Amino acid sequence: MARLDPHSCFDDAQPLTRSIHWEAAVDFGAKRLSGAATLRLAAPAPAGPLDLDTKGLAIRSVRTGDGAEVPWDLAAEDAIQGRRLRLALPAGTERVVLEYDASPDAVALQWLESQQTAGRQHPFLFSQCQAIHARTILPCQDSPRVRISYTAEVTVPEPLVAVMSAGSTGSRPGPAPGTRTFAFEMPQPIPSYLLALAVGNLAAKDVHPRCRVWAEPEVVEAAAWEFGEVGTMLERAEALFGPYEWERYDMLVLPPSFPYGGMENPRLTFLTPTLLAGDRSLVDVVTHELAHSWTGNLVTNATMDHFWLNEGFTVWAERRILEALHGEDAAAVAWAIGQKGMDGAFARFGMDSPFTRLRTDLTGVDPDDAYSQIPYEKGARFVVLLERHAGRERFERFIRRYIERFHFQSITTEEFLAFLEEELPGAAAAVGSKEWLYETGLPKNAPAFRSATLERLESAAAGWGGGMRPDPVHAARWPAAHLLVYLQNLPRPLPAADCAWLDRELSLTGRGNYEILVEWLAIATASDYEPVFARVREVLSTVGRMKYLRPLYAALGTSARTRALGRSIFESAKDGYHPLSRRVVESVMESWPSA
């Protein structure tokens, strides 16, 4: 018996799930998903146990494929992992069918009322299974080590549409009047956290022979324009990393409560509507999710202890695509923006925190509590060191061999290191991999990313205290990323007169680019600048993206007046936040001064 994932009861001595057929009925009135999951095993099972992960599921029945009842029991509740479901399989079992109901409070699901959508006429449902939340919508071996293909039939009320991280195989009238059943197939094996479902009033528009945008009808045209260049990104990515193996790269723009910028669900990336800036200035998030099609979806971390393998390589890949599209200067600016996110995570955890290691040990820790930009940005800098040591051309060959060797597999840091030594002997030692992977903080040999543009922006911001101000006419021509770097490097708090100048001359409060808007609102709120308070309330009442909630609520904690405002906003907005977003805000508010 060996349990290799600290967040799953998956036991590699037990039968392995090879594929799942999932039947789900969506009930918006009860906010309940009722399901039947047919698990097909990799080989006929010997008589004995099969342990599955569940959380909040009400099991109704368990049978073999030929209808024989299977004895089962649920273990005591674990706050992080949920309840182990143990099945006593008879010898020769090839399929097991589990009927169940998911909880209305399933962490993986967010149920939205019609007024929380763009159209305000129909409800909406979406899932978010990363990191360990697939177990809240179906019983499964919920570990990235277990890769499954799947088929699904999802019944929803008309006129709503269901979409999944899978290919559509059509739809038909549902079993009850006023319902429709949508069918899907995912032939490639994926980890359970990449299972994804959304249901709503959805329309679609093609932007490339392999790319389609899904969104509410009120949003779909803007989304199709915003992401109209994704086909070019896909082709550039293939030139760098090899063939795209998922057939289509479609995207779904969700309502604003989606807690992430994007989620790399294969065949259907989920995206926040905060990317719809109207000028394509935030499509780098799509570049990141697209890059996951190779690093993360093809080659996957074996457990959340090795999360950097997904995210570090993907940030590196994202910036290689960005460089190919827009040049070295744009990539340097992106590295500088990423540095700020990483610095914030180091400050939050502390440089000596075990959460600042790349290769972590999260036994007894909820992966959502350990989530930060560190595996993304520190991990990407480690990859850059390897690239610089090997040389770009040689490293590109290495990356292609890495993807070819481990495609459709889930691996550990140690397996990566063994492959690295095999392909690039001595590279790990040369860059100090043990310190990078197993020690806390940021090693002293972290790579630097400089450009003349970056230095000008940082110098201009550094001169603020001495009276230096940018020419508003010139600043109006800055790309969005340049303005963001400038704002990130300004001192804070600022006097009210300085805030007024920035807002007046750079037109910040009315911005549609949320990266710029939130950076500005954080500066102004931390400066107790009252003219932005209404806009802060508006943003926090409509947007659930954790990346924006954390800095704004942190800024609200700086004075008694802003803390009162923050508590008022949270009380009225919290029911519209995703459970993960609520947890982030509550943790931020707990860190506020008590006085």
Q: CB–CB of 406/417 below 8 Å?
A: no
Over 538-576, what HEC string results?
Answer: HHHHHCCCHHHHHHHHHHHCCCHHHHHHHHHHHHHHHHH
Peptide bond into 131 cis (omega under 30): yes
Query: How many angstroms separate the CA atoms of 81 and 135, rounded?
Result: 9
Contact 427, 389 (CB under 8 A): yes
Active site residue 590: no
* Candidates 289, 318, 377, 519; catalytic one: 289
Q: What is the spatial distance between Cα 362 and Cα 45, in angstroms, rounded to a whole number?
A: 31
Task: Assess contact for 4 and 10: CB atoms under 8 A.
Answer: yes
Q: Buried (b) or exposed (e) across 329-350, using 16+ Cβ within 10 A?
A: bbbbbbbbbbbbbbebbbebbe
Instruction: State the CB neighbour count (10 A cutoff) for residue 139.
Output: 26
Establish whether 438 is a catalytic residue. Answer: no
**How many Cα atoms occupy the beta-carbon half-sphere of 182 within 13 Å?**
20
In the set 150, 193, 376, 402, the catalytic residue is 376
* 8-state DSSP, 463: T
What is the CB neighbour count within 10 angstroms for residue 572? Answer: 12
Q: Which residues contact 398 (CB under 8 A, 6 or more apart)?
A: 390, 420, 423, 424
Work out the number of other CB atoms within 10 angstroms of the CB of residue 179: 15
Give Cβ neighbours of residue 551 (< 8 Å, ≥ 6 apart): 344, 518, 519, 522
Q: How far apart are alpha carbons 424 and 126 in whole angstroms?
A: 43
Question: In the β-sheet with 147-157, what is the strand arrangement from edge to edge?
Answer: 58-64, 93-101, 32-45, 17-27, 147-157, 179-191, 167-173
Spatial separation of the C-alpha atoms in residues 410 and 303, rounded to whole Å: 8
Cβ atoms of 360 and 354 within 8 Å: the answer is yes
- For residues 45 and 92, the answer to whether their CB atoms sit within 8 Å is yes
Report the catalytic residues: 289, 376
